[in-house]
Amino acid sequence: MIAALFVRQDSIYKSMTGIDCYDIERDARKYSATGAVIAHPPCRAWGQLSHMAKPREDEKDLAIFAVKKIREVGGILEHPAKSKLWTEANLPRPGERDEFGGFSIIVNQHWWGHRAEKKTILYIVGIEPSELPEIPFVMGEAPCVISGAGRRKNGTRYQRRPEVSKREREATPEQFAIWLYEVAKKCQKQKN
């Protein structure tokens, strides 16, 4: 059994076979099994706009817990591509490895069906990069954005694409959840 930690209460993982889900009610910090995990710790305290966020008092610690758990049992952690967690927890940047055999890659959730680009960094422990399932690289622009001000960096205006809802911004696309599950299964085999 693979555990999915820090999932939304309406998470796609809850409809998938072979996944033990820990949402806010179940509290992922109580996960004590030795199976590999998929971790989606809250990111608002770690993101680009963390200075504007109002996380719970203990929320920032959840990501540190997730890193420790993945290093202990294997698995995969998902966070925004520009997460400050990588510096704080001394996680390897893409192309690097850490002493736990962990590595990081940056993907775009649009490749798995998210309506917005949603660049994401993944920390993986328990397999080699060459063992990752196929990544469905998709060219072109996503039809929506996570958020946007309607201006380019040089200040000129452009036709703004629609923003996704808060729920869609936080949710994991089904095909991405399946891919993460396949990665975690491989990590579990390697750790056992």
What string of H, E and C letters represents the secondary structure of 14-45? Answer: HHCCCEEEECCCCCHHHCCCCCCEEECCCCCC
Looking at per-residue confidence, does 20 or 55 come out higher?
A: 20
- Calpha distance 41→66 (Å, rounded): 7
Check residue 77 and give its pLDDT: 97
Check residue 126 and give its pLDDT: 97
Number of domains in the chain: 1
pLDDT (mean) for 138-149: 81
- On the 0-12 / 13-18 / 19+ scale of CB atoms within 10 A, 105 is middle
Mean pLDDT over all residues of the chain? 88
Check residue 36 and give its pLDDT: 96
pTM: 0.88
pLDDT (mean) for 16-38: 94
Domain that holds residue 87: 2-191
Looking at per-residue confidence, does 177 or 51 come out higher?
A: 177
Check residue 163 and give its pLDDT: 87
Check residue 148 and give its pLDDT: 59
pLDDT digits (tens, 9 = 90+) for 34-89: 999 999 998 765 656 555 556 567 877 899 999 999 999 999 999 999 889 999 99
Residue 92 clears pLDDT 80, i.e. is over it = yes
Other CB atoms within 10 A of residue 90 CB: 10
HSE value, Cβ hemisphere, 13 Å, CA-based, for 81: 10
- Calpha distance 83→95 (Å, rounded): 17
Check residue 2 and give its pLDDT: 97
Least confident window among 78-87, 116-125, 160-169: 160-169
HEC secondary structure over the chain? CEEEECCCCCCHHHHCCCEEEECCCCCHHHCCCCCCEEECCCCCCCCCCHHHCCCCCCHHHHHHHHHHHHHHHCEEEEEECCCCHHHHCCCCCCCCECCCCCEEEEEEHHHHCCCECCEEEEEEECCCHHHCCCCCCCCCCCCEECCCCCECCCCCECCCCCECCHHHHHCCCHHHHHHHHHHHHHHHHHHC
- CATH number where 106 lies: 3.40.50
- Calpha distance 189→192 (Å, rounded): 5
Amino acid at position 46, single letter: W
- Calpha distance 59→189 (Å, rounded): 30
Looking at per-residue confidence, does 49 or 133 come out higher?
A: 133
Check residue 54 and give its pLDDT: 63
